[in-house]
Structures are given as structure tokens and as C-alpha cells.
Chains A and B, each alone.
Chain A
Amino acid sequence: MSEMWINMGPQHPMTHGLWNLRVKVDGELIVDADPEIGYLHRGIEKICEYRRYNEVVTLMDRTCYVAGIAWEQLYIMAAEEALNINPPPRAEYVRVLSQELQRLSSHVMWYAAYVQDIGLMTPFLYGMRDRDLILDLFQSYTGARMTYEFMRVGGVRNDVPVGFTDRCRKVMDWFDQRLPEYEKVCDNSTIFLERTKGIGVLKAADCVNDGVTGPMLRAAGVDRDLRRDRPYSVYPELDFDVAVYDAPDCYGRYRVRMEEMKQSVRIVRQVLDWLDRNPGPVLAEKVPRFVGTPSPPPGKEIYVERRGYPKGRGFSAMEEPHGEAMAYIINEGAEHPYRAKLRSPVFVNIAASKDYLVGYRVSDIPAIMGSVDICVGESDR
């Protein structure tokens, strides 16, 4: 049979977010793939050059909308490097708490959407219900469900409210019970196993050469997690394991994410204990006014003068729920960043899609691309 190109997308039930996958098929077999993205390119990097440092945080939330706070911290870490500001320790712990809650909610969202695509309906309802519990926690201390605008250069906007830690512990207890149930739903389902095991294989060497990161890389057996290997924030003081699995297919990626959720619960517990023991400020005091911090309390005018502020460059890398994200900020001593560059893990994971699609069938595409966990806002920026 002759070969032909098929368009999947931009609007296609399989694509969460809009992107177009062109596959060349020979009958049912995929022989070539050419993903096309950019349908959600919103010019975030350019707009950053027109915003003050703290105003950029608003955009970062919208960059990756299932893991907004991860991108906030990514940007803030780079900006703090560029501006040479150190946040107080309690702020770091609140940040890590947000990180791990966000990882949990992002993975639950992935689980809800992915397993539904594969053909099981219950996980969608389970996942959306449990994700809302985490979003309620977020709402109680940031005021928003998805777009938080919570972090500031030099700390975070506000501390967690009274009684938050207990509420959070309760949710974690709930998740302790739920996570095994999630796995049971999938592992007892023949449909799920048939559609994921041995599908979408990308070997470790290919992963590394293609620049693929995150759960995809760890599912292939490469033991790399920036939280441990290039520690940032207060991760060195926390105790957790890196989830690695040695099956580079969709099933392995599912396993890695499940394990990461358990580890996140573990980290959150440790952070909550720390927060209970150590009160303190959450915003650094010496922050130049031009980054856009709220106006100072009277009698505390210790802000650095705006003009002639030292120049600098900031680079940060972190383990975002989808993979390794990076930010590069150039500060030219002005109110706005001179250049803000973001590296999105999803962008690279999509780019490599030819390597893990060729050889499978058209009906496998939703299972394979779903296991990549695509967030289009992040890949297109």
C-alpha cells in the first residue's frame, strides 16, 4: 500500500492543547512523524522584556498552566541570581512545599487525562476529585486555583495561614490511601496493560542524545534528577528517593510518575514539620524597589537605589513535573530583564517524537503521546 501523511490535530481529542502531529503511515504502520507546534505561541519571552521583574511572575503562571508554581520558582531563581538577592530560609521551604504539591497535582491531572484516553473512565473522575483537594490547599494560601502569582524576587508573597499544616497533612493522609488505589485501577486492567506495555519505547542512549528529560528519561533507566544531582533551594536537606524504572515504554513512564507522587507526599510531610518548628519572615528585606515589590512599611526605606544597580546573568535549572526546565535571565541594570529565555522540557520531548513513534500503529499514538505529558503552553511559550 502506498504511504500517506495524516494530520492529527490541531483540534483532535487526543491532543490536550493544540498541536499538530503529522504522521506518515503505511497502512496502519507509522513510518515517519513530523510534529508541528506553535499554535499557542504567546510571545512570553518577548513580553518579559517589557515587564518589571516581579510582573513577569504573572506570565510564568500561564506558561505552564498545570505546573504554574514550578515555573514561577524557576524564573525567580534565575532572577535572584541575576539580581544577587537571597531569600530567607522559610521562604525556600514554602517554595519547596508548593513545588511538591504542584508536582502531585500535575501528575494527578496527567493520570486523569491519560488513563481516560486509554479507555478507563473512572480515573478521570478520581483524578479530578483529588486534584481539587490540592487546589483547595493552594487556594487557601495563594488565593487562586491555577494562576497563583505567589513568588516574589526575594521570597514569597505571604506565609501559609494558621492551621494550614494540619489541613495539608490531612490531604496527604488521604493521598496515602488513594495512590495505591490509583495503581490498582490500572494494574488490574488488561486494556491498560495491553495498550501501554512495550509501546513507545525510547532507549536510554536515544533519550540522552535527544535531550529528553523528566519521567521519560527516568523510565528508561537513567538515574538523573536535578533535585538530587544539582540541588537547588532546600532539597539537599530533605529526604527522598529518585524514581527510576527500567522499562522505556509508556508503562514505565506511568510507574515513574506514580512513584514520584509517593515521594512528593513524603517531601511535603517533611516540609510541613519544618514549617511548624521554624517561624520567620518569608520575604527578604533588601530588595531593590524597581523589581516591583510592594511598597515598604513606613520607616524602613532600605531599598537599593535603582540606577547603577549591578548587572548580572542568572541561570537556573530545576526538575519540573514534565522534565528539566531552565531559565536564563540577563539583567542589564534596568527595570526589566534584558533577555529572558525559558527551556521547556516538553518542547524537546515533542521534538524527539519521531524516535518513539516510528514502528508503532496509528491506534497507539494517543497512548504514546499521552505518556509524554504534553503541556502545550509550556512547549510553545
Chain B
Amino acid sequence: MTDLTLATLLPALESRFGPDVKVLPSRKEVLGVVQVKGERLVEVARFLHDQGTFTHCALVSGVDWIEHIEVLYHLWSDALKGYLELTVETAPEEPHVPSVTSVWRGANWHERETWDMLGVRFDGHPDLRRVLMPEGYRFHPLRKSFELHEPEELEVKARHV
């Protein structure tokens, strides 16, 4: 697709997936922000990869908003020279979204890291292990319920338990 522009891509996305995608107001440093329902994520990803020239999955990350967890994808397109932001919302208890590793292999470790740090399960991920923290660690540190303390404070606490 040589004549691909954002003005044609986003409506095409909306018309194809109907109410499952929502184009949110964009910010100036990204091409656009698209909210996707978790169930259709892989299809949307496949569409963007094949038809939208978003061949490079730059970043998968997550934000804990307490009421829900938001998983973010930043995709780079060589033709459009910019990043598209996909956001997926999921429940804070047992959060899970489908894995996009079948579309972009590069998402593999990003998803592992998001599982490690936020506890989001990626269904269909080939090898969902912790990547930064040791295996067997019990917490997901980037959750807002996980707090940091001075080490002395922790020692005092441990003594009183």
C-alpha cells in the first residue's frame, strides 16, 4: 500500500471492527490513539501489521489505574513515520489480554515484563515467565498496592511481625 495515510487507515479500522475499536482523541507526539476490546486485539494487530504497515511493535506496557488495568501498545510504521498507540483495558482481578507474539515476535519479552511487573496474563504467550524478578517472587511491583519503604523501616516491621 503506497497511498496509505492515517486519514484512510483509522476509518478503515473503525468500519471493519465496528464498536470493538474506538478512536480516541490523539496527542501531538503519536499518530493516533485507538482503544481496542481485548477479544479482538489479535485481529486488529494482524490488520495493522498487514494492511497498516505497522511492522514494528516498539513497546508493550501497562498502567495500573486501580479500577482497571490498561495495557498499551506502541506500533511504528515505516511508511507513516510515527507511532500508533493501542490501549486495551482489563479487569484488575485476574487481568488478562491476548498475546500478540504471533504477529510481532518482538512483543515476547515486553509481555513477559508486563506480566512480571503488573501481573497481566497474556493468553497464548509461548513462554510466560518472569523476566526481571527471580522466579518465585510473589508480588507484581508496579501495582499501586505495592509500596516502597526505607530498608530500616522494613527491618523494624519485620521485627514486630
Contacts and interface: CB of A to CB of B under 8 A. Distances in A.
B56 interface: yes
Given A45-B117, A81-B29, A315-B27, A211 B104 contact: yes
B108 interface: yes
A38 B132 contact: yes
B134 A38 contact: yes
Contact of A315 (B30, B108, B130, B132): B30
Nearest to A317: B83
Contacts of A45: 117, 142
A50 interface: yes
B58 A324 contact: yes
A70 to B, nearest CB: 17
A348 B106 contact: yes
B72 A328 contact: yes
B81 interface: yes
Interface string B91-110: 00000000000001111111
A46 B63 CA distance: 12
A351 B59 contact: no
Interface residues of B, number: 37
Given A38-B133, A229-B81, A46 B61 contact: no
Interface stretch (A263-271, A273-281, A339-347): A339-347
B74 interface: yes
B107 A211 contact: yes
Interface in B81-129: 81-83, 85, 104-110, 113, 117
B106 A209 contact: yes
Contacts of A209: 55, 104-106
A38 B82 CA distance: 30
B58 A326 contact: yes
Interface string A303-334: 00000000001111100000010101010000
Contacts of A46: 141-142, 146, 148
Contacts of B81: 229-230
Secondary structure call for the A interface: mixed
Nearest to B134: A38
B63 A330 contact: yes
A38 B64 CA distance: 22
B85 A315 contact: yes
A50 B58 contact: no
Interface string B54-68: 011111010110000
A47 B58 CA distance: 23
Interface string A35-50: 0011001010111001
Contact of B29 (A316, A324, A339, A351): A316
Interface string B1-36: 000000000000000000000000001111000000
Interface of A: 37-38, 41, 43, 45-47, 50, 81, 208-213, 224, 229-230, 313-317, 324, 326, 328, 330, 338-339, 341, 343, 347-348, 350-352, 380-381
Interface of B: 27-30, 55-59, 61, 63-64, 72, 74, 78, 81-83, 85, 104-110, 113, 117, 130-134, 141-142, 146, 148
Top 6 nearest A-B pairs by Cβ distance?
A211-B106, A351-B109, A38-B132, A41-B132, A341-B61, A343-B59
26 contacts: A45-B142, A46-B141, A209-B105, A210-B106, A211-B56, A211-B104, A211-B105, A224-B78, A230-B82, A314-B29, A315-B27, A315-B30, A315-B74, A317-B83, A326-B74, A328-B59, A328-B61, A328-B72, A339-B142, A341-B61, A341-B72, A343-B59, A347-B113, A348-B106, A380-B132, A381-B132
